[in-house]
Amino acid sequence: MILIPASNKRKIVILGVLGISLLGAIIYSNILYSPFVYDDRGTIVENETIKTLSESFTNISSRRYVGLLSFALNYSIGGLNVFSYHILNVFIHIINAFLVYYFVTLIFKTPKMSDSELSKEFIAFTASFMFVSHPIQTQAVTYIVQRFTSMATMFYLTSIVFYLKARLSLKTGANDKTKFFSAPTLTFYFLSFLTAILAMKTKEIALTLPFAIIMCELYFFNLERKRLKIAIFFLPILLILLIFFGGSVNLEKSVNDILTDIDYMSRETTNISRTDYVITQFRVIITYIRLLFFPVNLNFDYDYKIYKTMFSLEIFLSLITILFFIAIAIWTYKRAKLISFAIAWFFLALSVESSIIPIRDVINEHRVYLPSVGFFIACAAALDQILLSRKIKISLVVVLVSVLSLSTYSRNNVWRDPQFLWQDVITKAPNNARAYNNLGVVFKERKKYDIAVELFNKSLKANHNYTAVYFNLGDVQYRLGNYKNAVVYLKQALTGKLNPQLHLDILNKLGRTYSAMGQTEKAIEIFEEAVKLFPSSVVLLNNLGVQYIKINQIDSAIEIFEKAISINKKPYLFNNLALAYEKRGDKEKSSLLYQRALELGNNE
């Protein structure tokens, strides 16, 4: 352990904090105007609920309430200007790097680490610099919608930091009796509890937080004589889990129905069995570890093999490797406690998304954002113990962070244009049907229809059951005026696997296609069917109302437009309602509605 004078230590801390801030700002400076991509559209661009701030504040039942509220705040400030969204994402990432530093320094103040011979400042700063600069973090930072991940991590780390502050502030009085109710302890504990709730209302990865706190107790505090008191101390944070699940389960149902609900909530897809998902995750975890050590061939959308048996060589070797790391954690529990804790953190933080909860995409780089905290702490502690020379240690870290920073800046370049992003995916995963489809969408929106169709056909070649491709081919034919061909593709799309948004889009496009063909009655039939399935869609309601006007069913049109306006006060709805009243002959009402549409349009 190297002793540093207090004045020099203060300067080192200030320089370190400034260095982290400056480095984070520089390596993410080239993404501030990167456009919305993929899931950004459904969560932000097309999500009407975030476009009314008051509505977002009241939507507290949402599992990701806090993250969605942050998007609503961004929208209230700058609409769909991506700059404010990216600035906040980068700011959160830098804050998380500070929290990593502070987390490590607090660990070294705990009873079982306060006498450690390790270099506290070296480990804390090395871990935080590696965290902020590593290119695997780009998906959690640059991909706007993954603020859910980075923000949940921020509250997760903050909660643990406050918990450690609360524990370290506990005072011991006469007869070694611990006083739990001092003002600092209660304040820090309340802040820990509050930020734990915020973490869990941001993303489900925070469900491991109570167990991370228990792990801190087991690793860093003396529990021999006060286990019951300490258990009472963190029991309220454990109760958050019951609140989280209790609010999602209807306890008035039968046991079988409750179990069915739990099964439904604990899976994101039914296309992958729990067993296949778990088996595949053994390989995925090794991929994450490989990417942390050697961040090459990072990919936005992996075309990852689903494994169905434990007897595959890849799975067997992966399992052996995972057991090896677990063995290291056990072996180092007393010999190198910080390394053991960091390894345990990595696997605990991965457990929500790499266990028995099937998720449609078996691998995503943003999922390693929170677990990487443990990885970087372990690496920093290992470097500190292996390398004895302070100059060599610092020089090595400077070189390592420089290489990581250049890699991150370079990786961020592919996010500047969705065309570059999906072309990069195809280069690394040439059989990825979704990548061909999404690149085709980019060219479709740029009206390069020949290229788009070619890419859609490549997507079908990779996966002929990919429903979204048939919708996009139908949309291209609609735009080209080939309505009969459009109907064929759209009907084909309806026979495939549909998520709600795609189902809505297909029905809406099919109705519009029949309308363009002059088959108004058929269009009405499609739109009425769609409205039954999606009664709160103002787009479908509006299009149905327009069809009613075409066949002079004015009363029906007015009823539909008024229903749509009760859901969302869009200017075009008032315009169409004004037209309906004009057709009825009520010019005064029509004039007022046109004026209202104009006012709303000016406010957008």
For 44-59, how does the pLDDT look when each residue is reduced to its tens digit (9 = 90+)?
Answer: 998 888 988 888 888 8
Between 535 and 247, name the one with better pLDDT: 535
- Per the confidence metrics, is the pTM higher than 0.85? yes
For residue 599, pLDDT over 90 is answered with: no
pLDDT score at 49 = 85
* Amino acid 181: pLDDT: 67
Q: What share of the chain is helix, strand, coil (3-state, %, to 5)?
A: 75, 0, 25
Please check the confidence at residue 257 and state whether its pLDDT lies above 60.
no
All domains of the chain in start order, with CATH: 6-415 (no CATH), 418-603 (1.25.40.10)
Summarised one tens digit per residue, pLDDT across range 480-503 is: 999 999 999 999 999 988 888 899
pLDDT at 275 over 60: yes
On whether the CB atoms of residues 458 and 432 are closer than 8 A, the answer is no
CA distances from 230 to 94, 189, 233 (A): 32, 12, 5
**Calpha distance 96→426 (Å, rounded):** 32
| Token pair listed for 598 | 């104009």
Q: How far apart are CA 173 and CA 69, in angstroms?
A: 44
Residue 207, both tokens:
């469900």
> Exposed, middle or buried, 74 (CB in 10 Å: 0-12/13-18/19+)?
buried
What sign has the CA pseudo-torsion 7, 13, 14, 15? positive
Residue 528 banded pLDDT, cuts 50, 70, 90: very high
Beta bridge partners of 178: 172
**Chain position carrying tokens 């449609």:** 360
What contacts 24+ positions apart, CB below 8 Å, involve 215-220? Answer: 215/341, 215/344, 215/345, 215/348, 216/107, 216/110, 216/160, 216/163, 216/164, 216/167, 216/341, 217/167, 219/112, 219/337, 219/340, 219/341, 219/344, 220/107, 220/110, 220/111, 220/112, 220/113, 220/337, 220/341
Rounded distance between C-alpha atoms, residue 203 and residue 153, angstroms: 9
Looking up tokens 């052996």, which residue turns up?
Answer: 320
Average pLDDT over every residue of 251-259: 54
Instruction: Say how far apart CA 466 and CA 473 lie, in whole Å.
Output: 12
pLDDT at 1 over 50: no
Q: Where residue 176 falls among pLDDT bands split at 50, 70, 90?
A: very low
pLDDT value, residue 12: 80
How many Å from the N-terminal Cα to the C-terminal Cα in the chain?
60
Percent of the chain with pLDDT over 90: 67
Q: At residue 604, does pLDDT exceed 70?
A: no
Range in 54-63, 367-376, 512-521 with the lowest mean pLDDT: 54-63
Asked if residue 243 has pLDDT above 80, the reply is no
